[in-house]
Every structure is written in C-alpha cells, then in structure tokens.
Amino acid sequence: MWHKLSMVCVLAGPALAGTAGAASAQDRGHDLQLAGVVPKNSAEQFELAFWESIKDSPHVSDYEAYLKAYPKGRFAALAQARIARLRAAQGTGGAAATAPAPGRPPAAAPAKPPPARAAPPTAPSPAPAPAAAAAAARRPAGAEFKDCPACPIMVPLPAGAFTMGSNNSDPSEKPAHQVAIGAPFAIGKHEISLQQWNACVNAGGCQKTSLPANLPPDAPVRDVSWDDAQQYVKWLSTSTGKAYRLPTEAEWEYAARGGTATRYWWGEQMATGKANCKECGQPWSNDAPAKTGSFAANPYGLHDTSGSVWEWVSDCWHNNFKDAPADGRSWDQANCRVRVIRGGSWREGAPYMVSSTRFRYDASVRHTQNGFRVARNMK
C-alpha cells in the first residue's frame, strides 16, 4: 500500500544569467535547500509540489500560473525574476517565452497542483504481466475508424463492468467501486494532436494555443482548458454529424485500464518504457512530451493513457468516489467550474502513472501539462 507522503524537497537548478543585480540575487534562491516535514495535504505541500513541477520550465505562463495561485508565495520573487529573464531572452533572440496569444485571457490559477505521491517499486521492463496479457486476448472486436481525414482515430469499446478507483492509493481515488458501462462507445486512440487542434483553429472553431511554433504536428495539444476542449468537440460534432464529447471519468478509466485490474495497465510493478514520464524511460524530455503514440498501446489499443499530458474528462470534481454513479455517466452538478483531469503528465514521476490517478483544475485553466482525448457515442 502506498499513499501521499510529506515532502522533503531540494530545489536546485542552473543559475540564470542576467544584468539586474536584484534579479540575480533573487534567482540565486534556487540554491536554497528546503528540508523538513511538510504536513500532508497542507497548503505548504501543494505550493511545494506546484513549484517543483515548474521550477525548470522555459515557459512564462507556468510562472504566471504560480503567481496567480500564490501571489505571496515563498517563490514569488524567484518566479517574477524568471519571468523577467525569459522575456529579456525572448527580446534578444534567446529562448522563447510562452505568452498568451492575442485576444486570449490569461491562464486561470489551478485549483491546486498535484500533491506528492510515494513512489512504488520500479522494475526493469518485464515480460507482459499475466493480467495485461489476458486483457489483450480479450481486446474488443471492432475496427478503428476516422470520421474525416482530419479527425482523430477512434477505438470502439463495448459495454462492460470494472472496478473503478483504488483503496490503496490517494484518498481521492477511494472507495474502489463497481461501475457498469451500459452502452458501447468509442474513444480516441491518441490524445488530440496539435495538427488536429489546428484543423479546428483554421476552421474558426477553436482558439490558437500559445505553444511554441516549432512543435511537431503529432505532438499532443496542451495549454488548453476544459472550456477549450468543449469548443473542439462541438466543432468536431458539427463537422462530422457525429456525437463527439469528452469521455466521462468512468469511461476514461475503463478505457485506460484496458481490461486489467492492476495498479498500472501493464501490471502491479512500475516498468520503464511503458509511459511518457520523467521516471519512465526514453524517449523523455523535461521541455515537452513525446509525440503521440511514442509508447506502447494498452490492451485496448490506446496510447498515452499514462503520462504525456493530463487529460480533461467531462465530470465535475468530487473529493472522493463516495456516492459516485455506478453506471458510467458523467458526475455533474449545477454551476460546476472545477473539472477532473486524468492520467498524469510527462513532468510527473512514476507514482502518477497508475490507472486510478486523478486530479482537478478550474474549467478555464490553460496549463502546459493539460490536454485531452475525445469520445464518441456509437448509436
């Protein structure tokens, strides 16, 4: 059994050269060692986890998001100094900073950054676990399809039952409970790519992202909010005449597990080469996620359900699964503004790669680690 632990955090990173003495003094704060026990689920822990996830980022928007959430935080001066340095570098032809595109509102602050999670044992890439092998043998029949040349590849899945959540993980994932998906549906084989997003942008259905211009077209789109994702599925539905949407949280986990009931879709132990995360093996870079489909598919033929980018789902956030619907529908409520994200990202470590990992952001948040995949009704 493993769960969230109090953090012992050492912040270190390359010093940023600059011309302003005051900014240089602030920036040398990266040498500060923060040691000691931070209470679990405390505001201090959340702030440390947020800073740890962005402290080496080359994107202005990440530091702006931190300042939005913690305007008087312990790293506020350092965040302001790094924003100044990145913008100065941009002005002199150095590393480009990420700035909101014209006409876009600034990114809203996240509800809270992902809390620290304890690392489970890591094993070298083993042979497929029996559970994963059995699930592969049970892979649902049905051919992959695309509804248009620019549309995502969809994988049809049958109705079925599974155990959602975990009693041995984060408290938000409890209690583990039975869910019956009552109707077949299709889900994206990959996360929505930058090329697919730009097809919507070019058609006037979506807003351009603030991502660097040199990203490959098959990179997963990110820095998109839940509201932005709704624009995409609306455009896709209108363009194809099919009922596209975000998957429900239950549908997402059902698909991500790929017919398995283990901690990860490949088994109980962490293994390298299975997911795009900072402890998951190559290809990996701190700067950006790998191209969609760079890692093996799960037994249902889906790529990147663990790592790559966090994925928006349709549900409102609830702190746990008590009283969650058992039929796979979206768990909504009136005036909901905080939505669920699933799967972890390339910047998180191995503990976030478990199939039950979940977190939340405000629906208007645009964050460089957040993307999505789509679902579609089959009737």
Residue 88 predicted with pLDDT over 90: no
Q: Identify whether 116 is part of a domain.
A: no
Residue at 152 is within a domain: yes
153 has a pLDDT exceeding 90? yes
Please tell me the predicted confidence (pLDDT) of residue 305. Answer: 97
Q: Which domain holds residue 66?
A: 9-91
Same domain, 162 and 40: no
Residue 105 falls inside a structural domain: no
Q: How far apart are CA 237 and CA 228, in angstroms?
A: 14
Q: Enter the tokens of residue 372.
A: 């999505």
Is 100 domain-assigned? no
Q: Residue holding tokens 């202005």?
A: 60
Q: Does residue 96 fall inside a structural domain?
A: no
Residues 57 and 172 in one domain: no
Q: Which of 42, 70, 91 is the last residue of a domain?
A: 91
352 in the same domain as 289? yes
Structure confidence at residue 92 (pLDDT): 57
How many residues does the structure list for the chain? 379
Residue 94 has pLDDT above 60, yes or no: no
Domain boundary among 91, 111, 137: 91
**CA dist., res. 13 & res. 140, Å (int):** 47
Q: Is the pTM of this model over 0.75?
A: no
The verdict on 18 and 162 lying in the same domain is no
DSSP string, 14-57: PPPP-S-HHHHHHHGGGG-EE-S---TT-HHHHHHHHHHHHTT-
**Where a domain ends, among 73, 91, 109?**
91
CA distance 370 to 51: 16
- Lowest-confidence pick of 26-35, 126-135, 291-300, 368-377: 26-35
**pLDDT tens track for 56-70:** 788 787 888 888 878
Q: What residues have CB less than 8 Å from 180, skipping those under 6 apart?
A: 159, 160, 161, 326, 327, 328
Whose CA is closest to 353, among 268, 283, 284, 291?
A: 268
- Interval 261-303: pLDDT, tens: 999 999 999 888 899 999 898 889 999 999 999 999 999 999 9
**How many domains, in total, are found in the chain?**
2
Mean pLDDT of 238-252: 97
* 206 and 80 housed in the same domain: no
Q: What's the pLDDT score for residue 103?
A: 37
Q: Are residues 130 and 276 in the same domain?
A: yes
